Amino acid sequence: MSTPAPTLAPLTTNRAPDNTYLLWGEPRQEMSATTWADLPGAEIPLTLGSGGNTSPYGAVYVATFSAEAIVEHPDINAVASVTVFFGPDQAEPVSSNHRFVSARGNPEWSSHTLIRVADFPVSLTPRNVTARVKVQVNNGAKAGFQNWVLKIEQYNR
């Protein structure tokens, strides 16, 4: 018998984002980090709390990351995991299995997309919640990323 998944209350928003941030990169980048490492250039500075004219006190962020990716490994048994962090916190859903692309057969480039969400309640305390795409590769494999796009939608609280 399996454990049922937790019931989550959906977040309903009936408006456009307060801000949308876009960033992209074209050149191929290779990574082989076995722990979460920043994808070079895939970072959007964001702050919350008091101390600035444009920072909200709280916000919900929706991150969409899309890239052409490849994983190469002689045993055809490797995975590149990708997720988004906001400051030091990993965006939801948090999992130990964020497979983005796998090495299979004759590896070739393919397009992949993920969506992550971070919810920061209202607080006056200044916080750095810079969005960063992070990559982790297993089994000594090499992962490549190119033609990527990072979009952050911000819904102020």
pLDDT in tens, 72-83: 988 777 899 999
Q: The whole model's pTM is what?
A: 0.89
Pairwise CA distance, residues 140 & 79, whole Å: 10
Residue 8 has pLDDT above 80, yes or no: no
* pLDDT bracket for residue 1 (50, 70, 90): very low
Pairwise CA distance, residues 72 & 108, whole Å: 9
Nearest Cα residue to 130 out of 59, 43, 6: 43
- pLDDT at position 153, please? 97
Q: Using one digit for the tens of pLDDT, what is the confidence trace for 16-57?
A: 999 999 999 999 999 999 999 999 999 999 999 987 556 789
Which two structure tokens, joined as six digits, stand for 36?
């979460």
Q: Select the more confidently predicted residue: 62 or 140.
A: 62
**Mean pLDDT of all residues in the chain?**
89
Q: Using one digit for the tens of pLDDT, what is the confidence trace for 113-136?
A: 999 999 999 999 999 999 999 999
* pLDDT bracket for residue 7 (50, 70, 90): low
- pLDDT at position 133, please? 98
Burial 89-114 (b: 16+ CB within 10 A, else e): ebbeeeeeebebbbbeeebeeeebeb
- pLDDT at position 55, please? 74
Helical (H) or strand (E) element with 84: strand 79-86
Domain ranges of the chain: 19-156
CATH tag, 19-156: 2.60.120.760
Nearest Cα residue to 154 out of 73, 87, 56, 74: 56
CB 71 within 8 A of CB 80: yes
